[in-house]
Amino acid sequence: MLLRLVPVVILTILIGPVLAGLAGIVAPALGYLPVLGGEQVTLHWFDQAAMAPGFARSAWISYWTGLATSAISLVLVVLFLAGWWGTRWFARLASATAPLFAVPHAAVAIGLAFLIAPSGWLVRLVSPWATGFAQPPDWLIVNDPAGFALLAGLVIKEIPFLLLMTLSALPQSDAPRRIRAARSLGYGRVWGWLSTVFPSVYAQIRLPVYAVVAYATSVVDVAIILGPTAPPPLAVQILRWQYDPDLTLRFTAAAGAMLQLAVTGGALVTWWLGERAVAALGRSILTRGWRLPRDRALRLASLGGIGASALLVIGGVVVLALWSVAGLWQFPDALPDMLTFKHWMRHAGMIGHPTLTAVQIGLTSAAIAVLLVLGAVENAYRRGITPTQRVLALLYIPLIVPQISFLFGLILLVLRAGIDGTFWAVVVAHLVFVIPYVYLALADPYAAFDGRYLSVARSLGKSPARAFFTIRLPMMLRAILTAFAFGFAISIAQYLPTLMIGAGRLPTVTTEAVALAAGGDRRVLGAFALIQSALPIVAFVAAAWIPAILYRRRRALRGAGAWT
Amino acid sequence: MKRHAIGLDLNDVDIQLDGRRIVALSHKIAPGEVLTVMGESGSGKTTLLNFVAGFLPPAFDATGRVVLDGVDVTAMPAERRQVGMLFQDPLLFPHMSVEGNLLYALPAGGSRAERGTRVSGFLESFGMGELGPRDPATLSGGQQARVALLRVLLAEPCALLLDEPFSKLDADRRDSVRKFVFELARERQLPVLLVTHDRADAAAAGGPMITL
């Protein structure tokens, strides 16, 4: 049966490019790439990469910002849940923060840069009346050599992701009863949550957390926009080598890509050791009977942290929008002297084409991903299979192996096949990252669907296929469209696969925005980044509105019901 | 194969899970008769119904045969068995109107207009004509239960399986819905297999009773 092949197809798409890519960098990293005259196996290029000026610093920046990003965003999210879960503030802030997951990395980073730069909005808002600045101060905030701006950009981007993952893990943690039990024993809200709910929540979000560690240690687009430049984080350095006119640097780049694996792997091992230490510490503290009932300061700090992070993302998008329609906007004015659409008009051609390309790639890869994932979950349902944790872990492989490392090997294969820069090659490269998220978005609602509806349909004489199309699909429309929107958002955000596999021939809003980020015109950059963040938002709004309109006379399906 | 109404024969049914017997039963249910199977939750009542209806998960091992009106349906897929099933919940499809639900159940054939007339006439004959265009979610529990039964009957089943179909209804509605179901089943001479833990259901059904 065709359906049975779907899981195989999915695993091939997820794991195939990663394995092929990793295999593909080994040879050039060892100096073997006859096309470029490399015919001898040597460790020379590892030396070249490691001895390159600033290499140690590059690796260190990647390592520490990656770990710090993961630790800060996880601690904030966990403390926020511990301190506020079940309150009105929680409901409000969580429903404002989680959707920010859809705003692409590059747009978040550019928005943040527009906010915190010395000539950014935050300084303008308090100048000159509070600061006395008539000129932008001479501070190196964005692209600071230590990587704090990069860290900030990654933290505000990862918080919504971890919040989403934690929220979806909560229902399996029996939180309300455990909290009540802990609090009735006199435990404070935060410590009660941490000691009774957190362990089982963390067990479920472990892989997403590892994905954050891996991503943050090897990120390229955010690092180009916010990160240090001399030397840059390792992944950016590798990209520079790759696109250097001196072709021998390709060998250095391949060796660098392998070293990136080591840096990310090292960060993951560090994190894992940290997990052990925290668990051991936790176990020993739990036996002391400390109640920690006075946790007000901690609660307020977590609320402030999550609130500030959400505000920085939202404020960033607002300031992108503002710049894209700004007339004259001199420092230190808080607002432009007038709003105008003339930049949009003037750059319409320049903006329109990459937008269209991004939308085409996004729609295609999201549609393919949704079809494949539907096939896989339906196959599992019909055969009564519940995917094991081990199988689900495979989904995370493309999210944990650094993009830059395997894309690097993959591009060599793609070049050899002569399909670089083609639409479909880029779509397949996107699918590697789109499928896991579509699966994560669809699997739970699929399993939660009341199978008795399908039994009713079968008893009424309908085949399994008819029951699927006439009952399951329409009833799950909202969940399916939401999964589609997730896939679309992930595709829109892809920078490196689009750049490398697209070979620069398929520019999208994302590749253009990152390319313009270094010293480009803020108005054009604002327009690009605004479109980049608007596209996923449009997809999510459509995913909510289409079922709402279609089912406006169907009360059970109208609201944000059990199927979202 | 033409079927003649000779009832539902559960012939030496024996269902096991990992070598443990879940349920074993042998009984012939005559047309118009209700066999009540009593048991607490977890006693394998639902497993029995799943076996008869064709929904037994592959993890179970079952022997014995289900013969409906002389036709052995044991190996048939659920959709070909012509066994109607009512659950604890009415499970009206929320994306269709009441009429849509009924049209979905009506076997294929006939023009759109004919089918519409047939369904609305059917609803009408039970005094529920005005419910046709309604959203199922806006119906009362009792109305939903009745519509669910009409939907099963429209598919022209040869037997009826009831999985505690009255347990979620208010006490005052329960009696009238119960009466509605049993009377219609008797009128149509359907063999009925009822599983329940409510003695009042068994008493109202009036047929033989087996306790698991």
Q: Which residue does chain A place closest to B160, by CA atoms?
A: A459
The residue among A313 and A119 whose pLDDT is bigger is A313
Task: Look at residue A68 in the predicted model and tell me its pLDDT.
Answer: 97
- Strand, helix or coil for residue A470: helix
Is the preceding peptide bond at A474 cis, omega within 30 degrees of 0? no
CB contact under 8 A, B155 and A463: no
Residues A497 and A430: beta-carbon distance below 8 Å: yes
Q: With contacts defined as CB-CB under 8 Å, which chain A residues touch B136?
A: 556
Instruction: Measure Cα distances from B131 to A264, A492, A554, B124, B140 in Å.
Output: 63, 46, 14, 9, 11
Does B145 fall in a domain? yes
* Burial (Cβ within 10 Å: 0-12, 13-18, ≥19) of residue A18: buried
The residue among A32 and B34 whose pLDDT is bigger is B34
Does B1 fall in a domain? no
Task: Look at residue B151 in the predicted model and tell me its pLDDT.
Answer: 94
* Count of domains forming chain B: 1
CB contact under 8 A, B57 and A384: yes
Enumerate the β-bridge partners of residue B27.
Answer: B10
Query: Nearest by CB to A459, which of B84, B89, B97?
Result: B84
CB contact under 8 A, A458 and B104: no
Which tokens belong to B136? 């199922």
CA distance A427 to chain B (A): 34
Q: Is A461 on the interface with B (CB under 8 A)?
A: yes
Q: What is the mean pLDDT of residues A9-36?
A: 85
Which tokens belong to B157? 């089943």
Q: Is the pLDDT of residue A561 over 80?
A: no
Query: Nearest by CB to B155, which of A453, A460, A556?
Result: A460
Q: Is the pLDDT of residue A475 over 60?
A: yes
Q: With contacts defined as CB-CB under 8 Å, which chain A residues touch B104?
A: 457, 460, 470
Q: What is the mean pLDDT of residues B4-15?
A: 88
CA distance B193 to chain A (A): 15
CB contact under 8 A, A475 and B95: yes
CA distance B104 to chain A (A): 8
CB contact under 8 A, B152 and A459: yes
CA angle at A94 for the pair A88 and A95, rounded to the nearest 5° = 95
CB contact under 8 A, A456 and B107: no
Does B43 fall in a domain? yes
CA distance A553 to chain B (A): 7
Q: Is A455 on the interface with B (CB under 8 A)?
A: yes
Q: CB atoms < 10 A from the CB of B12, how many?
A: 10
CA distance A385 to chain B (A): 10
Does B75 fall in a domain? yes
Task: Look at residue A328 in the predicted model and tell me its pLDDT.
Answer: 84
| A229-260 tens-digit pLDDT | 989 999 999 999 988 888 888 888 888 999 99
Closest CA to A306 of A91, A123, A485: A91
* Residue-averaged pLDDT of chain A: 89
CA distance A96 to chain B (A): 29
Q: Is A87 on the interface with B (CB under 8 A)?
A: no
* Structural domain harbouring B178: 8-211
Q: With contacts defined as CB-CB under 8 Å, which chain B residues touch A455?
A: 53, 55, 78, 85, 87
Task: Look at residue A388 in the predicted model and tell me its pLDDT.
Answer: 78
Does B12 fall in a domain? yes
Provide the residue count of chain B. Answer: 212
CB contact under 8 A, A459 and B95: no
| A512-524 tens-digit pLDDT | 999 888 777 888 8
Q: Is the pLDDT of residue A72 over 60?
A: yes
Residues A24 and A412: beta-carbon distance below 8 Å: yes
Q: Which residue does chain A place closest to B157, by CA atoms?
A: A460
Q: Which residue does chain A place closest to B151, by CA atoms?
A: A460
Does B3 fall in a domain? no
Q: With contacts defined as CB-CB under 8 Å, which chain A residues touch B83?
A: 459
Interface of B with A (CB under 8 A): 53-55, 57-59, 77-85, 87, 89, 91, 93-95, 97, 104-105, 107, 135-138, 151-152, 155, 157
Task: Look at residue A559 in the predicted model and tell me its pLDDT.
Answer: 59
Q: What is the mean pLDDT of residues A31-47?
A: 79
Q: With contacts defined as CB-CB under 8 Å, which chain A residues touch B95?
A: 474-475, 477, 551, 554, 557
Among A65-79, A289-303, A316-330, B46-60, top mean pLDDT goes to A65-79
Q: Is the pLDDT of residue B203 over 50?
A: yes
CB contact under 8 A, B94 and A554: yes
- The percent of chain A in helix, strand and coil, each rounded to the nearest 5, is 75, 0, 25
Closest CA to A401 of A267, A227, A224: A267
Task: Look at residue B3 in the predicted model and tell me its pLDDT.
Answer: 56
DSSP line for B61-90: EEEEEEEETTEE-TTS-GGGS-EEEE-SS-
Task: Look at residue A1 in the predicted model and tell me its pLDDT.
Answer: 64
Q: What is the distance between the alpha carbons of residues A358 and A362, in angstroms, rounded to a whole number?
A: 6
CB contact under 8 A, A456 and B87: yes
Does B2 fall in a domain? no
Q: What is the mean pLDDT of residues A273-300?
A: 90
CB contact under 8 A, B135 and A554: yes
Residue type for position A200: S
Q: Give the number of A-B residue pairs with CB atoms closer than 8 Å.
A: 79
pTM (predicted TM-score): 0.89
Q: Which residue does chain B place closest to A383, by CA atoms?
A: B58
Q: With contacts defined as CB-CB under 8 Å, which chain A residues touch B135?
A: 553-556
CB contact under 8 A, A462 and B79: yes
Q: Which residue does chain A place closest to B92, by CA atoms?
A: A453
| B138-182 tens-digit pLDDT | 999 889 999 999 999 999 999 999 998 888 888 888 888 888 889
CA distance A460 to chain B (A): 6
Task: Look at residue B118 in the predicted model and tell me its pLDDT.
Answer: 93
Q: Distance between alpha carbon A271 and the CA centroid of its chain, in Å?
A: 19
pLDDT class for A564, splitting at 50, 70, 90? Answer: very low
| CATH code, B24 | 3.40.50.300
pLDDT class for A495, splitting at 50, 70, 90? Answer: very high
Residue in the block written with tokens 């306790």 = B211
Q: Is the pLDDT of residue A560 over 60?
A: no
Q: Is the pLDDT of residue B44 over 70?
A: yes
| A130-185 tens-digit pLDDT | 888 888 888 888 888 889 999 999 999 999 999 999 998 888 888 888 988 888 88
Query: Nearest by CB to A556, which of B59, B80, B137?
Result: B137
Q: What is the distance between the alpha carbons of residues A317 and A533, in angstroms, rounded to a whole number?
A: 8
Largest CA distance in chain A: 79
CB contact under 8 A, B83 and A459: yes
Q: What is the mean pLDDT of residues A474-498?
A: 94
DSSP line for A519-549: T--HHHHHHHHHHHHHHHHHHHHHHHHHHHH
Q: Which of B17, B51, B85, B93 to mutate to test the interface with A (most CBs of A within 10 A)?
A: B93
* Residue-averaged pLDDT of chain B: 89
CA distance A471 to chain B (A): 7
Q: Is the pLDDT of residue A563 over 70?
A: no
| Strand-strand pairing, B8-17 and B20-29 | antiparallel
Residue type for position A50: A
Q: Is the pLDDT of residue B67 over 80?
A: yes
Q: What is the distance between the alpha carbons of residues A236 and A243, in angstroms, rounded to a whole number?
A: 11
| A322-366 tens-digit pLDDT | 998 888 888 888 888 888 888 888 888 888 999 999 999 999 999
Does B190 fall in a domain? yes
Query: Nearest by CB to B105, which of A460, A474, A556?
Result: A460
